[in-house]
Amino acid sequence: MAVNLAAIPSEGLPRFPALDNTLGAVLIGTGISSILAGVSLHQVFRYFRRYPKDNLSCKATVSILCLLDTLHEVLIIHVCYFYLISNYFKPWSLISGVWSLRLVVPATGAISTVSHVFFARRVLILSGSKRMTLPVALITTLLVLSEIVFCSVTTVYLFLDKTFTRFVDHSSWLISTSLGTRVVCDIVITGAMIYQLRISRTGFRKTDSILDLLILFAINTGLLTSVVNLASVITAVLWPDALVYCGIYIVSSKLYSISVLTVLNSRRSRNKHSAENNKEQDTTWMEMSDRISAACRTGTNLEFNHDSVLDVPSKGTTEMSRSDVSETY
């Protein structure tokens, strides 16, 4: 016998959360994240194909990011399947969070931590002054540790608070604080990288133009993740009882992994065949930044040819080899 739901008074029905700003936001974030996951996998494939002889630390970083990205994608797909398929037309299931949704927080935190450590190491490599190295190392270490602590505490409270309402009432500030720490870490690392490049200016027009390009690349690398995380912080503060921030939070993890993989893949291949074919190609930004850093430490003057390839005068100076460049990663 069919039941006419329209005949039942609305006062007698339980109040359940809306779907457009909860599961709808998560579903949109999952769709965008799946697209970016394909981009990330392509970058991983490209990396191992072009740099088979890369050092162990770079290969470990890429492998860890690939595994974490895959785990993250499995978790968010399970979230959508649990709520939208397994518990279709069971609105009471929306009140509590599934285990996979709770594990999205540590998975995303692990990806962002790997990315921040990678770029913080790049800043330390660019820093030729011990006076600058120590403050940058201390600040970035404190921020990364704070991010790990907040992600861990948030995960614990997500498992302790069985319902969304209880978590919002008692522990929602943890999400905002964790995201805010991540934004600050992005800004500090990007700012330190830009500062190191700016103090490397020589006064020569061609040299400074290359440095301007490196600065622009550094800004673009950290700007996108900072803007996305800032949007997640704002939505978490304005609508703590919705999951709009969760949808944005899901996308941010893929941006972190793609930013690292893009930087690694921007180098020229160091295998024999590619080196012969690309012998006359322009030097990539990572190689240029390393050469500039080495020149600043040794007091070497830099010159550029008409093709904007970075060269170091051979007379009285020493040019960095490809093996020297690879050791910085």
Please identify, among 263, 294, 312, the residue that sits at the C-terminal boundary of a domain.
263
Q: Per-residue pLDDT for the chain (329 aa), expressed as one digit of tens each? A: 444 545 444 454 455 667 788 888 999 999 999 999 999 999 999 999 999 888 898 999 999 999 999 999 999 999 999 988 888 877 777 777 788 988 999 999 999 999 998 988 877 777 665 566 677 778 888 888 888 898 888 888 888 876 777 777 777 788 888 888 888 888 888 888 777 777 666 666 666 676 666 677 666 667 888 889 899 999 988 888 888 899 999 999 999 999 899 888 877 644 444 444 444 344 444 555 555 555 454 445 444 443 333 333 333 333 334 334 344 44
Q: Are 8 and 230 in contact (CB under 8 A)?
A: no
User: Would you say residue 4 lies in a domain?
Assistant: no
User: Would you say residue 132 lies in a domain?
Assistant: yes
Same domain, 294 and 249: no
* CATH number of the domain within which 166 lies: 1.20.1070
User: Would you say residue 279 lies in a domain?
Assistant: no
Same domain, 172 and 33: yes
pLDDT of residue 308: 37
Same domain, 214 and 293: no
Same domain, 208 and 317: no
Angle at 231 (CA atoms; ends 226, 237), nearest 5 degrees: 125
**Reported pTM:** 0.75
How many C-beta atoms lie closer than 10 Å to residue 159's C-beta?
Answer: 11
User: Would you say residue 234 lies in a domain?
Assistant: yes
| Rounded-to-integer distance, Cα 317 and Cα 301, Å | 9
| Rounded-to-integer distance, Cα 326 and Cα 329, Å | 6
User: Would you say residue 201 lies in a domain?
Assistant: yes
Same domain, 100 and 209: yes
Same domain, 138 and 57: yes
Same domain, 306 and 215: no
Same domain, 292 and 206: no
Q: Are 133 and 140 in contact (CB under 8 A)?
A: no
Q: How far is CA 94 from CA 42, 84, 156, in A?
A: 35, 10, 20
User: Would you say residue 10 lies in a domain?
Assistant: no
Q: Are 187 and 226 in contact (CB under 8 A)?
A: yes
User: Would you say residue 273 lies in a domain?
Assistant: no
* Residues spanned by the domain of 72: 18-263
User: Would you say residue 270 lies in a domain?
Assistant: no
Same domain, 248 and 301: no
**Total domain count for the chain?**
2
Name residue 43's amino acid: Q
Tokens 């133009």 belong to which residue?
209
Same domain, 295 and 208: no
Same domain, 235 and 295: no
Same domain, 150 and 299: no
